[in-house]
A = this chain, B = another copy of it.
């Protein structure tokens, strides 16, 4: 539908006539029932419930070609799953680049009735953060898959709850840009008018942050106010205070903000870009003490986003995220360790991202069906590599940039403990290594550590096994490594991928499978495509030839 997310009209993928999609709120222990009807004209669609474990319902994970067939235009698919744990989540498209097209919304799970959070707050806000391009997601898909690649460049805008300002700035008067920036003027009912955070003095607010950006790493700050981080990816963390917070695509946080500042002033809420040479102005809105007119802009400039490439600062912030007492601890030992080299490559001249030299292209039959029913022809049955060559130089562009396109699967023995070491490297250009926020479906993992350079066995000695944060998304920093541990205890097939959508489109993903033989009662609707469909048709060929 036509929409003006950043005051420039464009087409967004909406839900029920809304952009972003409706907020979904449930209570821990609830079964969520979503009927998704595809009203697109020619495109299939799926929705992934980001951060929800889907234990016992792997077909409801909403990953096209992995957990289900895309839902055809005109058809309805029912997502039914249990939300086990209170926390801040979100949902989004997981097919092509439909997340970039705007298919996302907020999913909040409250505590069960009678239970209380381990921290106090009076009220809450929920901010869904995203980035937005004026070039359509369809065109981006073609551009990225062109030879030579046409890179999509930085987004035009950052959005807070689907709202940004491209043609004007709320903070125009503080702009040091040589280009004159116009002051925004809103009646208030514009689709791009910022939603003001209206607060009372001397209260504590929980601000839920969810980052569903296609590309950008963000930094969140509120002028004049400290925040205390209390939740990450649906898990409580050891509270820590900070002036600003990096948030990567796929991550969620809750921060507590106490309104203890001068209530006669307004304050900027700023969401700036980090990790890439910034070319997008920060998203802004206002924290308004209700005693003050909301239309009055803050008198001082918005918080300055930290230097985009100050990665030491980013690493230090990530290391502050530790699990709160009472969080389950990781097993002391792993059963299998896989090391995943993140590299940018070429395949027949096309630019790709790869993991251990394999660039993933998904098959047309969902793995959940093909593995469950033993359809060997549905995908490449070889095992993808558990490591990369010892002599690989991570500090330079790959000496042989060629990668392979495959659709192989890592199969884990059920209930074993898996260590994944994400190993970053130099991209195709010299002196360039990018951040990649990796997101795991179906599980949380413990983040055992971050390190610089090439991971070696010795690094494992420094792993944090005491209070590592339990998360579903973790960044691997430029030229560094990140160590994760999880238990393969959720029967199903699960995507593990860089959450940057253009990178997924270019192959930066792997597939994990465990205990698939234990999966029962896959709804037929989830597998009505490719070889799974064919299998069932062949078994009943008589009817077809009646």
Contact = CB atoms under 8 A, between A and B. Distances in A.
A138 interface: yes
Contacts of A541: 524
Contacts of A528: 528-529, 533-534, 537
Interface string A401-433: 000000000000000000000000000000000
A101 to B, nearest CB: 9
Nearest to A372: B546
Nearest to A75: B364
Contact of A44 (B72, B95, B545): B72
Nearest to A12: B142
A505 B535 CA distance: 34
A69 interface: yes
Contact of A43 (B1, B42, B136, B529): B42
Interface of A: 1-2, 11, 41-45, 65, 69-70, 72-75, 95-98, 136, 138-139, 141-143, 146, 150, 362-364, 373, 505, 520-522, 524-525, 527-530, 533-541, 543-546
A169 B216 CA distance: 43
Contact of A138 (B70, B136, B364): B136
26 contacts: A1-B142, A2-B142, A2-B143, A11-B139, A41-B505, A42-B70, A42-B98, A43-B43, A43-B44, A44-B44, A44-B73, A69-B72, A70-B72, A72-B72, A72-B364, A74-B362, A136-B136, A136-B139, A373-B546, A524-B533, A524-B538, A528-B528, A528-B529, A533-B533, A536-B540, A539-B540
A146 B138 CA distance: 20
B534 A536 contact: no
A96 B138 CA distance: 15
Q: Which of A1, A41, A138, A141 has most B Cβ within 10 Å?
A: A41
Contacts of A527: 544
Contacts of A43: 42-44
A187 B108 CA distance: 60
A522 B545 CA distance: 7
Given A41-B97, A520-B545, A536-B536, 11 more contacts: A2-B150, A42-B43, A42-B96, A44-B73, A69-B72, A70-B72, A72-B364, A74-B530, A136-B136, A521-B545, A539-B543
A505 B537 CA distance: 32
Contacts of A143: 2
A365 to B, nearest CB: 9
Number of copies: 2
B545 A534 contact: no
Contact of A536 (B2, B69, B72, B544): B544
Nearest to A150: B2
A533 to B, nearest CB: 5
A489 B146 CA distance: 47
Contacts of A138: 11, 136, 138
Nearest to A73: B364
Contacts of A98: 42
A512 to B, nearest CB: 21
A69 B74 CA distance: 12
Contacts of A537: 524, 528, 536
A545 to B, nearest CB: 6
Given A74-B363, A545-B520, A11 B95 contact: no
Contacts of A362: 74
Q: Which 9 A-B pairs have the closest CB atoms?
A: A74-B364, A42-B96, A41-B96, A524-B537, A42-B43, A540-B540, A528-B533, A75-B364, A524-B544
Contact of A75 (B75, B521, B529, B543): B529
Nearest to A146: B2
Given A72-B529, A529-B528, A41 B141 contact: yes
A152 to B, nearest CB: 13
Nearest to A539: B540
A522 B541 CA distance: 11
Contacts of A536: 536-537, 540, 543-544
A543 B73 CA distance: 26
Nearest to A545: B521
Contacts of A505: 41
Nearest to A98: B42
Contact of A530 (B41, B72, B363, B524): B72
Contact of A11 (B69, B142, B539, B543): B142
